[in-house]
Structure 1
Amino acid sequence: MVTLIRGAEIFAPEPLGVRDILVEGERIAFIGQLDPAAVAELPGAVVIDATGLTATPGLIDPHVHITGGGGEGGYATRTPEISVTDIIRAGVTTVVGCLGTDSVTRSHGGLLAKARGLEEEGITTFVYTGSYQLPARTITGSVVDDIVLIDKVIGAGEIAISERRSFQPTIEALADIVSQCHVGGLLSGKAGVTHFHVGAHESRLGPLHRLLDDYPIAPPAVYATHITRDDELLVDAVALAAKGAFVDMTAGASTVESVRRYVELGGDLDHLTLSSDANGSLPRFDAHGRLIELQVADQSTLYEQVWACVESSGLDLHQVLAFVTANTADALKLFRKGRLAAGKDADLLLVDEDRTIRHGFALGRQTIGDGHLRIRGTFDSPSARPETGRSR
């Protein structure tokens, strides 16, 4: 399959100007200016006129509850699995699946099967072994073995710290799992990252600072999420990123304000990512730890907040795009993802002036065409035509 995309303004995520993109199979073969003679030598190629459209890498979402999450309010509050159509229409082409509070009724076998199913349906998937608790529940019985022996496992997470739902691990236990992940990553050529769920307790990121200060831990092996619960936590995250760790904001109503504050504090923009927490629960507890409200995170929020940041955060488009493309690829060592360049995976979006995805590709396969989904989940209704990504 050969696709020629003509005349798009490319943000790779850095701005490249108006150029053509040639896709062959699953990879980008060429980015530049093709003369008409060269185009004529591509018989059978699908040609897309992208004049007036902006080309970006497909989004990478490093934190998705692909098998659902929740359960903090009892069995009826377990959230549903995600659909590939929800992922695609939000401009996401790569997801990392994780378990959360519940690793009893949600299993790593189910997580791995769901990831493989989503990949069969058209996107790229990876997973974390482990969950909130330590010692970590795994597939093989070992964090190192999971990372080395199972292709989709790239690290462990989300390990909970600084909140009531955490299993209150010691610093030694945290150092142990980060070290296991790191060694597993070395042996397999993967990220070997440990992804930390951070709560609102006053200890905040203190345990992770102690890891980096008191143990021979490589800073990029530490990846903290949910860093926008309050201003003190955000300040702490800026300090953690300054040490070389990666930090992640969960997209939501306060994302623009949080990004502005991160910049104001001098935060390292190269070590910041955004994620959706899609299909995870968003619980709210009272002072006594009783659940008083529960919502479900939506995959589309990530796309909406990217463009909200472009419009209102004070950052340029290429800087914001990096939070969901290049930076995430660097944090997870996904070397063929997150950038538009020859040899990279052909994961890309073509967006119009209204921020609507007109065309989308995942591994060279067209997922969105003329604003409509080209592929759907196995059990989705054939007549359903969900709206594709649009900023609101």
Structure 2
Amino acid sequence: MDFMKSAGIDGIKQPVQGLWLARHRDANAWYHIYPVAQSEYVSLLHVVRHKKASQDIPKVKYHLYKSTCLVFDLLKIFITGFKVLLKHEIRFIVTFNPVPWGSVAWILARLFRKPIILGFIGADFNYYLKNTKWKYFLVYASRHSSIITVTGYNMKEYFLKLGINAERIFVYPHCVKDEFFVDPLNENRKYDVITVCNLIPRKRVQDIILAIHLLKQEAKVVNLCIVGDGQDRLMLENLAREKDVLDLVHFLGWQYDVLPFLKQSKIYVQASSAEGFSISLIEGLAAGLIPITTKVGSEGDHIKDGYNGFFFEVGDYAGLAKLIEFSLLEENYSRIQQNVLKERDYFRTKNAIQICDQIIERITQVK
């Protein structure tokens, strides 16, 4: 049976109320909530979270619960979402992170017979869907959801092979705030290279430090800015000290506003062993930085090697060092950066809002 028909959606003329139920990292919540709320087909988006997004979002009403631990938070998010669905005329549900938060939203959608937009990002797809027992539930949930959103065409191909109709799969464009689309000024930048991430094992920031070390051995001074914090920080600081590049590697810790540091940098490096499509990388692209990245998620959908960025293999810090050196040559930097600037408008909020319009129009049959 067609899920949208079984949900009783028979066409409407006015914007509708929706329910957003998920739990991204706090720094990323705005990017996922904002485009949905700003759709012309949404009158009000009810958001169930443990806290508000970092900035105000028009047409959003929060329903907050106090976060304690995973088990109780799952129960609280279910109860809070249940109450919202009882009290308000919700016409659709949108969620990300199927493990575990999106699973709660999917169950609520089934209980209340509401169409659901189920969004997959990095770990959901690369780990839970492919490498754990969760995959059986996730495949079933995907086949019984109204819309699936993915971060790129590789993900889309995977769901097509599962037999999901192409009309139900949308490549959801990540977006960043308009303030990131600055006119880059390349003179007197403090940092040659920047990376913004949690300092955890899969981010492999040590590879960037080792690349800086190799360049120093060749008498090339390259300054690296590391924005972020985490369990690997002490190890990374010790590595920089051991390799005698502590004067070139600047640990800035967690920063609420990363834009000032992007403005002071030339190249954005992502060395991760697994990603979906990193918002921090997109912020770097929007700010006009040249990306040098591992190809472990949907990066290849937006970065063309040698045109508007470069790829290197996971763990290949020697290859990374060569790409940094090549990119910093003035003639190469100017050429690649111009191509970055040509392509970056894809990540503007207006593009993401247009896709949300298409999705919500589809599942609610707005006329």
Fold equivalence (TM over 0.5): no
Higher helix fraction: Structure 1 or Structure 2?
2
Return the TM-score normalized by structure 2: 0.35
Larger CA Rg, structure 1 vs 2:
2
